[in-house]
């Protein structure tokens, strides 16, 4: 009765063991020669001047949220598109309504200037 679960337990164990082994090997084999130059703060290879703390702009967060919304839209529309030739008329109209609602949201965000990358 537990025979199918043994395979799942083995895969779960291997899934936890292999990354753990890789991280442990990196920790054991990596060179450890810290000095003050290696511990300095830098941005893209250039030393920072002045205050190094920079706040994240809210526009980037909103831009990412809009991307996630349209990514989820693609997930919802994929099964609808695959079965398009087998759908009844009301199903097609609901899919079109869904796309129109999302297009209205995109137009609203566009007019509000959310998509401007400044």
Domain parsing of the chain, residue ranges: 3-47, 58-112
Q: Which residues have a Cβ under 8 Å from the Cβ of 70 and sit 6 or more positions away?
A: 102, 106
Q: Tell me the C-alpha distance between 80 and 92, whole Å.
A: 8
Q: What's the pLDDT tens digit per position in 67-110?
A: 888 888 888 888 888 888 888 888 889 889 999 998 998 899 88
Is this model's pTM higher than 0.85 or not? Answer: no
Q: Which residues have a Cβ under 8 Å from the Cβ of 43 and sit 6 or more positions away?
A: 52
| Mean pLDDT for all residues in the chain | 83
Pick the CATH number of 58-112 from 1.20.58.1610, 1.10.940.10, 3.20.20.140, 3.30.930.10: 1.20.58.1610
Take residue 10 and report the two structure tokens written for it.
């083995």
Residue 28 above 90 pLDDT? yes
Beta pairing partners, 78? none
What average pLDDT does the segment 46-53 reach? 65
Take residue 110 and report the two structure tokens written for it.
């566009």
């Amino acid at each position: 009765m537990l025979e199918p679960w043994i395979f799942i337990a083995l895969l779960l164990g291997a899934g936890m063991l292999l990354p753990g082994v890789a991280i442990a090997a990196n920790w054991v084999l990596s060179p450890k020669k810290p000095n003050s130059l290696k511990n300095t703060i830098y941005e893209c290879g250039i030393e920072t001047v002045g205050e190094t703390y920079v706040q994240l702009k809210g526009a980037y967060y909103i831009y990412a949220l809009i991307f996630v919304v349209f990514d989820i839209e693609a997930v919802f529309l994929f099964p609808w598109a695959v079965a398009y030739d087998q759908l009844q008329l009301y199903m097609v109209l609901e899919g079109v309504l869904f796309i129109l609602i999302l297009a209205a949201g995109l137009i609203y965000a566009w007019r509000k200037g959310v998509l401007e990358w400044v």
